[in-house]
Amino acid sequence: MFDLSHNPSPTTSSSDPRHFIIVGVLIVITTVVLKILLDWALPLPLQASVQAITIDWLFGLHIWLISFLFALVTVFMCYALVVFRRREGDDGDGEHFEGNTALEIGWTTAPLIFVVIFSYLGLTTLWDVTATQDNELVVVAEGFQWGWNFYYDDIPNPEMVAIEGVLVLPVDQPVLVRLRSKDVLHAFWVPEFRVKQDVVPSIPYSTMEEASHDGEYPEEKMTEIRFTPNLVGDYKLRCAELCGLTHWNMVKDVRVVEQAEYDEWYESNFGEAATALADQ
């Protein structure tokens, strides 16, 4: 396997442990340097939801993995390009070895272990960010070409629509947004909240139209997205699924405010309709 008898090269054998020690040290250094560079080059937006904490944590772990694997391959590669380059006038061949079964098994099993670990973490984080909470505030967000309506009810009740088209939410309150479309696919995404969900039309809009006039709401499949905003501030909701001409500008304001300010806004926006709803 590492037969050098036919290859009288003055350079050291490729299996010399010194190569691996140098490479090992370089990999450690490169990993750390890359992690720092990647954290700088890939800055996530402000963290404004509870889900963002979990997601950013897993994101950071991925960056470590990327830094390590990138360092592993490129250090070995660049080292080889320098140390094992052909010297001027040397027309000979390289060392003749065809493989190494132990290495093959090793570099198949080790990645498999990583896959198992990240699968587990992927599962737990997925459950974390999609888990149903108690006391969710339910809002229906309706996407259409090219804007959004927000209904503060669990059905698209036109009497509970946010008048200025701003999605106002109280801080630290779990929110369930049910999503429906009047026409094509859209997607609900506020980068600071991290989570994203497509908006899928599920029943003919003509049925929706007729029904809402009668005050009745047909069964419709709405996709759902859950998040708990935890930072007061102004954000933007941007449609994240190409939906035609003005997809680029299908943007609405989202305001996360203190509970008191939310209650005030709710009162002034919905007034009687809200009382009627509460009485039902």
Partner 1 sequence: MSLMSLGLVRGVIGQVIGTIVGFLLLMLGRLIGGYEEVWFAEGAWSLGAIFGVIGFLYGVGALDAWTKWMGGVFPPIHHGPIEGEPTWTRYFYPDINHKVIGVQYGVLSLITLMIGGGMAVIFRSELARSGLQFLDPGLYNTVISMHGWATLAAVLIGIGAMANYLVPLMIGADDMAFPRLNAFAFWINVPAVILLMGSLFAQWDSGWTMYPPLSLKGDVGYQLAAYAIYAIGLSSILGSLNIIVTMLTMRPPGMSLFRMPIFCWAMLATSILQLTATQVIGQAMLMISLERSMGMGFFNPNSGLSDLGLPTGIPGGDPILFEHLFWFYSHPAVYIFVLPGLGIISELLPVFARKPLFGYKWIAMSSVAIALVGFLVWGHHMFTSGFAPYLRTTFMLSTMLVGVPTGVKFFSWLGTLWGGKLSFETPMLFVLGAISVFLLGGLSGPILATVATDMPLHDSYFVVGHFHATLFGGFIFPFFAAIYFWYPKITGRMYNEGLGKLHFAIMTPAFWLMSIGQMTVGVMGMRRRIADYDPALGFGGVETGHQVITVAAFLIAFSILVMVYNLFNSADVGELAGNNPWRSRSPEFQIPSPIPEHSFPTPITVVGEPYDYGLAGSTYIQMAPALAGDD
Q: Reduced to 3 states, what is the DSSP secondary structure of residue 52? A: helix
Contact with partner 1 (CB under 8 A) among 32, 166, 200, 274: 200
Query: Smallest gap, in angstroms, from Cβ of residue 199 to partner 1?
Result: 8
Please tell me whether residue 86 binds partner 1 under the rule CB under 8 A.
yes
* Selected range binding partner 1 among 72-80, 160-168, 252-260, 263-271, rule: CB under 8 A: 72-80
Please tell me whether residue 131 binds partner 1 under the rule CB under 8 A.
no
Contact with partner 1 (CB under 8 A) among 30, 149, 197, 228: 197
Query: Which residues, 215 to 274, sit near partner 1 by CB under 8 A?
Result: 223, 236, 238-249, 251
Angle, CA 178 vertex, CA 57 and CA 262 arms, to 5°: 80
Please tell me whether residue 99 binds partner 1 under the rule CB under 8 A.
yes
Query: Smallest gap, in angstroms, from Cβ of residue 268 to partner 1?
Result: 29
Query: Smallest gap, in angstroms, from Cβ of residue 247 to partner 1?
Result: 6
Query: Which residues, 28 to 57, sit near partner 1 by CB under 8 A?
Result: 41-45, 54-55
User: H or E element: which one contains 106?
Assistant: helix 101-130
Query: Smallest gap, in angstroms, from Cβ of residue 201 to partner 1?
Result: 5
* Contact flags string 136-175 toward partner 1, x per CB under 8 A: ----------------------------------------
CB closer to partner 1, 69 vs 277: 69
Angle between helices 50-83 and 17-41 (to 10 degrees): 140
Count of residues that bind partner 1 according to CB under 8 A: 89
* Cα separation, 24 vs 88, whole angstroms: 29
DSSP 161: B
Residues 6+ apart with CB under 8 A from 250: 143, 145, 146, 147, 148, 186, 238, 239, 243
Contact with partner 1 (CB under 8 A) among 22, 33, 107, 158: 107
Sheet of strand 167-170, all strands in order from the earlier edge strand to the far edge: 167-170, 251-257, 233-238
Q: Reduced to 3 states, what is the DSSP secondary structure of residue 245? A: coil
Count other Cβ atoms within 10 Å, centred on residue 276: 12
* Cα separation, 114 vs 214, whole angstroms: 56
Query: Smallest gap, in angstroms, from Cβ of residue 24 to partner 1?
Result: 14
Angle, CA 258 vertex, CA 191 and CA 128 arms, to 5°: 45
Beta strand 137-144 with 175-181: parallel, antiparallel or unpaired? parallel
CB closer to partner 1, 128 vs 136: 128
Contact with partner 1 (CB under 8 A) among 21, 25, 92, 218: 92
Contact with partner 1 (CB under 8 A) among 24, 94, 158, 165: 94
